[in-house]
Amino acid sequence: MKKKYTSFSNRLTQKVMLTVLVTLVILSCIILTLTVNAVRAEERGRYYAIMSLVNEKLGRILATEEICVRNVFDNVWTSLDSPETVLEALEKEIKLNDYIEGYSMSFEPGYYPQYERWFEAYMHRDYDHARNIGSADHDYLNKEWYIKGKETKNGYWTDPFFDEAGQNGYLCSFVMPIYDQRDSLAGVLAGDMSLEWLVKQLQDINHESNHDGVLPFDIRKDSHFYSFIVSSDGTFIAHPDSQRIMKENVFSYIDQKNEKDLNVVLDITKRKRGKATLTIDGVRASVYYAPLEAADWAMAIVVPQSAYIYPVLILIGLILFFTLIGLTVIYYRCRSNIRQVVSPLGTLAHSANEVAKGYFDAPLPVIDHQDEVRELRDSFATMQQSLEKHIEDIKQNTAREAAVNHELEVAWNIQKSMIPKKNAIFSERSDIDLYGYLKPAKSVGGDLYDYFIRDDKLFFCIGDVSGKGIPAALVMVVIHYIFRIVSERYTNPKNIVEGMNEFVSAENKSSMFCTFFLGVLNLKTHELKYCNAGHELPVLITSQVSMVPVDHNLPLGLIVGKSFKAGKMQLSPGDVLLLCTDGLKDATNQEEEFFGKERIITSLQKVVAQGPANAEACIRCLVEDTFGFAKDATQADDLTLLAVKINQSYQKENKD
């Protein structure tokens, strides 16, 4: 289906507008982000300030009540001579302090004999006279505030409690012990504060602060914050909903299965300080919390997420409105100007289409004026000539590359033909098992292995020419034929290696060398003689897997006349000797980790664990583990392995 035609001027206008739009969006996002961060920072600072204000105001109220109680302490202490003087002292003091709802002085059992067990002098602001409210029905001796008040030294604020004997309402009291002149505990002095009055103070602060936000107008009521005060067990002491006060617990308004929310509420009850986001009353909100310093309570400010969202939405709306107006003006102005600039390009479009179809000699329009359009026309003319030359170069390069690939393929086939095959001699022998593997890193490589049998002796070798590719492959061919020639003359590995070194070193103008390991195995006695010219250590596989410690010597091709050390060892039926090039241990994965000797031993141990190992199984396991380790990593070096297993003594069968 043919695409709809769109003029260049329109597309250019669209791209310009897209650039402008992206720029404006990025700038708007930056401005919006900075504005939102500023709003949130202001809001956070505001709520922290409100929390400090509430803490300070409530602290002053509680501190004032505490001072009042401490002032009453002296008058009560001097009035302990009789119950009447205590009642008179309370009546006098209640008139001096407007914050106090009532005073009580609760005595120890039998402190005044005439009252036997209970005597609690109490004076409320609305009473005409102080009275004794202690009795069996109002056994203050078992109340928590009395028991804990006796144990404190400097006094403490109680959690709110319902006073059924005095005011018949919820009170908070500051209590402290009084000792008489004999230093004996007389009882507990308490100053009561109405919980209802405390809640009203908190509500006044909330109402005043909710109308002092970032925007100069109130957006939505459901975005207002509120604050509450809880006791150490989470019970609401103050809350905007009066039905919850002293009846409900903050834990019941969160999802207790949500561990994060639960930990935040626990931090509140533990009087810690902080800020968190949680779901409370089914509303996602930010909660600022801190301890009330004057009492063993904690306060929190709950700010619904809408308190942050609505101001941001208004800012986004304003930014979008003015952005759309600006884009509209820019669009029409750009469209008009671009049409005027690109109109001459229409005459060049047809000629360009002919060139695009392959008619490189298509005539181009004549343009007299000197500007970018003329430069474009001249560029098309140059392009016609360049395309013709480039296509011809591609044809020639393709032909050359095909020839090189063919030559490399022939070279690899030649190299593979040099690898020994299990011929009829090996197929008739049951005492020896050989298996080799070679995979070059490039099309051809510099690794080699070879073996043959002469005079009931197995001659085998493995080598690794320095470098990779065609140069290494050429050196490998030379060394392979030198091995065949010299080993036909000598039986001792030392003599063979030294003879090969003379040939290779004499004409080594390229300074290339070859690490080489040669072994001569007596198939009757299973004695192995060997010589190692700087090659990797062989691996011996019996019931265990271990590296064979052999002398390294120098590689072949470095020094003419170099003497090499040889060695020997005794093998047994079932033993497997494995040779490899450094392409095995130096294989790397995508994290550039080496396969290493430890993984070689581990891989072979898996083969041993499955039963008697044969040569092919050992090599296949190593190859699979190596490429499984490397995965998609590029093979960096040639990989060659040769395994020799001794089965049993050879006995040639007689055939008629």
At 468, list the tokens. Answer: 């990779």
So what's the pLDDT on residue 425? 56
pLDDT band of residue 406 (cuts 50, 70, 90) is low
Please report the DSSP string for 270-337 in residue order. Answer: TT--EEEEEEETTEEEEEEEEEETTTTEEEEEEEETHHHHHHHHHHHHHHHHHHHHHHHHHHHHHHHH
Residue 165 has pLDDT above 60, yes or no: no
Which of the residue ranges 217-221, 377-381, 482-486 would you say has the lowest mean pLDDT? 217-221
**What confidence tier does 422 reach under pLDDT thresholds 50, 70, 90?**
low
592 and 468 part of one domain: yes
Do residue 144 and residue 230 come from a single domain?
yes
pTM of the model: 0.44
656, part of any domain = no
Position 2 in a domain: no
Cα(214)–Cα(313) distance, rounded to whole angstroms? 13
41 falls within a domain? yes
653 found inside a domain: no
Buried b (16+ CB within 10 A) or exposed e, 219-243: beeebbbbbbbbbeebbbbbbbeee
User: Residue 656's pLDDT band (boundaries 50, 70, 90)?
Assistant: very low
Q: Is residue 655 part of a domain?
A: no
Q: What is the CATH number of the domain that holds 32?
A: 3.30.450.20
User: Looking at the structure, do residues 410 and 496 belong to the same domain, yes or no?
Assistant: no
CATH label of the domain that carries residue 556: 3.60.40.10
Is pLDDT at 402 greater than 90 in this prediction?
Answer: no
Domain count for the chain, please give it: 3
> 146-155, 191-200, 333-342, 535-544: which range is least confident on average?
333-342
pLDDT in tens, 513-557: 999 999 999 999 999 999 999 999 999 999 899 999 999 899 999
**Which pLDDT score, from 0 to 100, does residue 483 have?**
93
* pLDDT at 533 (0 to 100): 95
* Domain presence at residue 221: yes
Domain membership flag for residue 425: yes
Residues 325 and 380 in one domain: no
- Where does a domain end: 355, 387, 417? 417
Quick one: 317 and 426 in the same domain? no
The answer on 358 and 372 residing in a single domain is: no
Same domain, residue pair 474 and 585: yes
* Residues 585-616: tens digit of each pLDDT: 999 998 989 999 999 999 999 999 988 888 99
Looking at residue 501, what is its pLDDT? Answer: 93
Q: Phi and psi at residue 574, in whole multiples of 5°?
A: 95, -15
Bigger pLDDT: 301 vs 362: 301
Q: 577 and 448 share a domain?
A: yes
Same domain, 342 and 460: no
| 74 shares a domain with 197 | yes
Both 396 and 533 in a single domain? no
Of 297, 331, 365, the one marking the end of a domain is 365
Same domain, 346 and 381: no
Evaluate whether residue 231 is within a structural domain: yes
Percent of the chain with pLDDT over 70: 84
List, for residues 265-324, the tens digit of each pLDDT value.
888 888 888 888 888 878 888 888 889 877 788 888 888 877 767 667 777 888 888 888
574 φψ region: left (φ > 0), alpha (ψ -120 to 50), beta (else):
left
The residue range of the domain holding 387 is 367-417
The token pair at 97 is 């302090």
Among residues 349, 365, 381, which one ends one of the domains?
365
